């Protein structure tokens, strides 16, 4: 199913159509806008691993739909085959990518729903799991809107806002986290302009963030990652807003590789560094950033892009996909429950106390 860019105005990263999950193929944006169709958990896991869908909340939503698809696929099976097949579906989805905790959060929630339905028929369980996946996706948009409202208040009219990677509608079920804050500020009448880091090596900033902003006529300027310091030193950036894949109990923030560099620069230049962070991205089981699993991806992502290889064959490569920004560099977390200035163990624990 192909669509032209002009038809892509309302970005629906994931959609349920004709009994199947469809996801925008984010690997080929912005050159092509097309949906791929998914029929079972293993296919969805591969879609997550290969980055058809990416961004922490979107990965969580995709995983929830992966469980629902697997349950629906097995709805005619015996109880034993259903249980074993669904369990295998959970395992394959959990192994798709390691860093974004939203994946594991969504799987835990789907497992909880499954366990609460043990006395029902497999058909009833499958239907209920689909409803749960729909609710996870719908809730994600509501949460992003709430974060947007809280975060928009932090941005002054006329602010020039740097962001890294893509934490937009494409990274969520809609509206976005970091870009959701920007969208909400624009909706509130503020004149915001965006500076998008290109985000080597997967180019989420150049390919996805710039595309989302251009679609909505929100002023956006694309820079390569190594230009951020220069612009900050010239007074051309007023605030940084990024998303996150996992926040540890002490407030350390894992996000796309290069985020730490931006945070250090922001501190050097006295620029506020905000992290848009749904509560589902906070992992209280991880004491600090050192314990967050960091995905290492293929060398080919660094030695070239698509069909073009620019580095010498055989060169040794490192490709950590995420880094950790220490909590002390974070001006505030923007959550759906409100803004948490200077996050630390105590104020993060307080978020979950009620
Ligand atoms: O490797 P990706 O593209 O999945 O990484 C995405 C990010 O790092 C985002 O900033 C993060 O998931 C927050 S998305 C709302």
Q: How many CB atoms lie within 10 A of CB 79?
A: 11
**pLDDT score at 3:** 40
CATH 3.40.50.10470 in the chain, residues? Answer: 148-351
**The two structure tokens encoding residue 329:** 């560099």
Residue 322 has what pLDDT?
Answer: 98
Can 323 be counted among the known catalytic residues? no
**Ligand 1 binding pocket includes 99 (Cβ within 6 Å):** no
User: Which CATH number among 3.20.20.70, 3.40.50.11540, 3.40.50.10470, 3.40.50.2300 corresponds to the domain 148-351?
Assistant: 3.40.50.10470
Which 3 state secondary structure label does DSSP give 70? helix
Alpha-carbon span 144 to 282, nearest angstrom? 15
Task: Return the pLDDT at 2.
Answer: 39
Could you check whether the bond before residue 267 is cis, i.e. omega within 30 degrees of 0? no
Q: How far apart are CA 104 and CA 89, in angstroms?
A: 13
| CA of residue 199 to ligand 1 center, whole Å | 11
Measured CA to CA, the distance from residue 256 to residue 235 in angstroms comes to 24
Q: Where are the beta strands (DSSP E) in the chain?
A: 2-3, 14-17, 20-24, 33-38, 160-163, 193-197, 220-223, 239-242, 246-248, 253-256, 273-276, 282-283, 304-305, 308-309, 322-325, 332-335, 338-341
- Residue 326 φ/ψ, nearest 5 degrees: -60, 145
CA–CA distance, 36 with 236 (Å, rounded to integer): 40
Q: Determine which residue's CA is closest to atom 5 belonging to ligand 1.
A: 55
Q: State the number of CA atoms in the 13 A half-sphere of 175 facing the CB.
A: 22
pLDDT at position 104: 98
- pLDDT tens-digit profile, the chain (354 residues): 334 333 334 789 999 999 999 999 999 999 999 999 999 999 999 999 999 999 999 999 999 999 999 999 999 999 999 999 999 999 999 999 999 999 999 999 999 999 999 999 999 999 999 999 999 999 999 999 999 999 999 999 999 999 999 999 999 999 999 999 999 999 999 999 999 999 999 999 999 999 999 999 999 999 999 999 999 999 999 999 999 999 999 999 999 999 999 999 999 999 999 999 999 999 999 999 999 999 999 999 999 999 999 999 999 999 999 999 999 999 999 999 999 999 999 999 999 996
Query: Which is the catalytic residue, given 140, 225, 238, 245?
Result: 245
The pLDDT, as a whole number, for residue 130 is 98
Of the residues 53, 182, 208, 245, which should be mutated to test ligand 1's pocket, given the most ligand atoms within 8 Å of the CB? 245
Here the tokens at position 207 are 């390919």
The alpha-carbon radius of gyration of the chain (Å, integer) is: 20
What pLDDT was estimated at residue 9? 44
CA distance 200 to 204: 8
330 SS3 class: coil
C-alpha 333 chain-centroid distance: 15
Q: Ligand 1 mean position to 212 CA, how many Å?
A: 15
> Which fold does the domain 2-144 belong to in CATH?
1.20.120
Domain ranges in the chain with CATH number 1.20.120.420: 2-144
**The predicted structure's pLDDT at residue 5:** 34
* Tens of pLDDT, residues 247-289: 999 999 999 999 999 999 999 999 999 999 999 999 999 999 9
For residue 322, the ligand 1 atom closest to its alpha carbon is 8
| Phi, psi at 278, each rounded to 5° | -60, 150
**Would you tell me the crossing angle of helices 79-94 and 56-73 to the nearest 10 degrees?**
160
Strand, coil or helix: what is 267? helix
Encode pLDDT of 67-98 as tens digits.
999 999 999 999 999 999 999 999 999 999 99
Decide: residue 2, CB within 10 A, 0-12 exposed, 13-18 middle, 19+ buried. Answer: exposed
For ligand 1, whether the C-beta of 56 sits within 6 Å is yes
Tokens representing 275? 């992290």
Query: How far apart are alpha carbons 63 and 57 in whole angstroms?
Result: 10
pTM assigned to the model: 0.96
């Amino acid at each position: 199913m192909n669509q032209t860019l002009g038809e892509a105005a309302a970005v629906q990263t994931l959609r349920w159509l004709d009994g199947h999950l469809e996801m925008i193929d984010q690997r080929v944006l912005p050159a092509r806008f097309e949906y791929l169709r998914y029929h079972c958990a293993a296919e969805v896991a591969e879609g997550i691993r290969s980055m058809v869908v990416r961004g922490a909340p979107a990965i969580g939503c995709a995983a929830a739909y992966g469980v629902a698809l697997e349950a629906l696929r097995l709805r005619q099976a015996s109880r034993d085959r259903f249980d074993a097949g669904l369990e295998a579906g959970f395992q394959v989805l959990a192994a798709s990518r390691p860093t974004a905790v939203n994946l594991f959060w969504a799987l835990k929630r789907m497992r909880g729903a499954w366990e609460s339905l043990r006395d029902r028929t497999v058909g009833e369980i499958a239907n209920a799991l689909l409803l749960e996946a729909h609710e996870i996706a719908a809730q994600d948009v509501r949460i992003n809107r709430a974060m947007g409202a809280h975060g928009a208040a932090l941005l002054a009219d006329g602010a020039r806002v740097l962001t890294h990677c893509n934490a937009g509608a494409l990274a969520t079920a809609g509206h976005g986290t970091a870009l959701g804050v920007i969208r909400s500020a624009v909706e509130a009448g503020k004149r915001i302009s965006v500076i998008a880091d290109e985000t080597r090596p997967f180019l989420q900033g150049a390919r996805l963030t710039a595309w989302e902003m251009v679609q909505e006529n929100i002023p956006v300027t694309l820079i390569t990652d190594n230009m951020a310091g220069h612009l900050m030193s010239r007074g051309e950036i007023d605030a940084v807003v990024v998303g996150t894949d996992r926040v540890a109990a002490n407030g350390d923030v894992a996000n796309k590789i290069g985020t730490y560099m931006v945070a250090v620069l922001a501190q050097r230049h006295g620029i506020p560094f905000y992290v848009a962070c749904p509560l589902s991205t906070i992992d209280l089981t991880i004491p600090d950033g050192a314990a967050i699993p960091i995905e290492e991806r293929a060398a080919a992502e660094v030695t070239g892009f698509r069909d073009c290889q620019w580095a010498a064959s055989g060169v040794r490569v490192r490709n950590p996909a995420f880094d950790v920004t220490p909590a002390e560099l974070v001006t505030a977390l923007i959550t759906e429950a409100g803004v948490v200035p200077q996050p630390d163990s105590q104020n993060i624990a307080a978020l979950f106390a009620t």
